[in-house]
Amino acid sequence: MGYEQSKNDYSLFIKRTNGLLTIAVVYVDDIIVTGSNEEKISRFKEHLHSVFNIKDLGVLNYFLGIEVSHLQAGIVITQKKFTKELLLDCNLDVSRIAKTPLPANLKLLAYEGELHSDPEHYRKIVGKLNFLSHTRPDLAFSVQTLSQFMQQPRLYHVKALQHVLRYVSHTLGQGIILYATDQLSLIAYSDSNWASCPNTRRSVTGYVLLLGISPISWKSKKQPTISKSSSEAEYRAMAAASSETTWLIRLLTKLCVLNLKPVALHCDNQSAIHIGKNHVFHERTKHIELDCHFTREKVLEGLIVLTYTPAAEQHADIMTKALSSFQHNKLKSKLGMYSDVDTVPSLRGDVSDDTAECATSDDEYAEGF
């Protein structure tokens, strides 16, 4: 039918005819179809039905465990049904409230404490939390942390897992809202927590990318090597964010979302920004692998503009460490996260004053660690 398979994502098929766009996303035998012309969409479905005998389920509301709600302000995606099933299957007491996924400054050691008697159960629950993080950026750091102990989980790790589940139970309908707007820009935030892993002394990379003010890509990951300084750790995080930005620009361009360049990449480390902008070989950076200098190339190309942002306003901070309840809720609001107990926030980039209500002591739910 003239559809082109995307080289950026092999599950994506695109067709452009006379300025009209039709998009199909395929996962085994589940297909999402959208586009700018209803007639083209209907013709595509009729053709599929003549070949495969498909079942048309109407407007998208559920796909691969992800619930989709259509509001006037935009589209809300959550995993409430999956979350309820996860909590029923966890066999842990989640009745107490936890206001953040993990207590601030918690350090989990790999080889300290008594081994957990049922490691398979631990792996299963962490794996489900990993799937839940598809619509929950606030869980990315916690899942990354707990995933490090899959081989030999200990009782201390199970306590941390229980704390995360208590937070999930307290925020059952949490998700993200994709705002409906024609004023689209791509903004990236990168951050790192230098030498934060007590077992390996490696740093944690975190980044988040917003289309408009809606989060569309995020990651929390331990760096593969030990960084000699906080500047190097931040520079490595910038390289990861630059790589994801490059891919997203290609993907969105194929989807006819144009004029996104240059993308502002926000970092809270002036030294790392200087390294990214300084295209001269330097004694302090000669040990850094070539792939980390990817950011410099993209700055030269004009794809990325490096921008300083204060640490308190760093959106990606939620991807690199456990935060206080006030800062955690503040960043969730800045990321445009949505809860079914809230009213849909207006289309804006600031944070409402009601986050100040969350500035309570963390001691009440950190008990036991």
DSSP string, 46-105: HHHHHHH------S--EETTEEEEE-SSEEEEE-HHHHHHHHHHS-S---S--SSSS-TT
How much is the pLDDT for 357? 34
Please tell me what DSSP assigns to residue 154. Answer: B
- Residue 54 pairs with which residues in a beta bridge? none
How much is the pLDDT for 345? 53
If one counts every other C-beta atom within 10 angstroms of the C-beta of residue 238, the result is 32
Question: For 29-53, how does the pLDDT look when each residue is reduced to its tens digit (9 = 90+)?
Answer: 899 999 999 999 999 999 999 998 8
| pLDDT of residue 146 exceeding 90 | yes
The CATH code that applies to domain 183-316 is 3.30.420.10
| Average pLDDT rounded to a whole number, residues 260-264 | 93
pLDDT class of 106 with cuts at 50, 70, 90: confident
DSSP, collapsed to helix, strand or coil, labels residue 156 as helix
pLDDT class of 197 with cuts at 50, 70, 90: confident
b/e string for 324-346 if b means 16 or more Cβ within 10 A? bbbbbbbbbbbbbbbeeeeeebe
pTM attached to this predicted model: 0.86
Task: State what percent of residues in the chain have pLDDT above 70.
Answer: 89
| pLDDT of residue 80 exceeding 90 | yes
How is the chain split into domains, by residue range?
4-58, 78-175+325-366, 183-316
How much is the pLDDT for 4? 94
Helix (H) or strand (E) holding 27: strand 20-27
Higher-pLDDT residue of 345, 366: 345
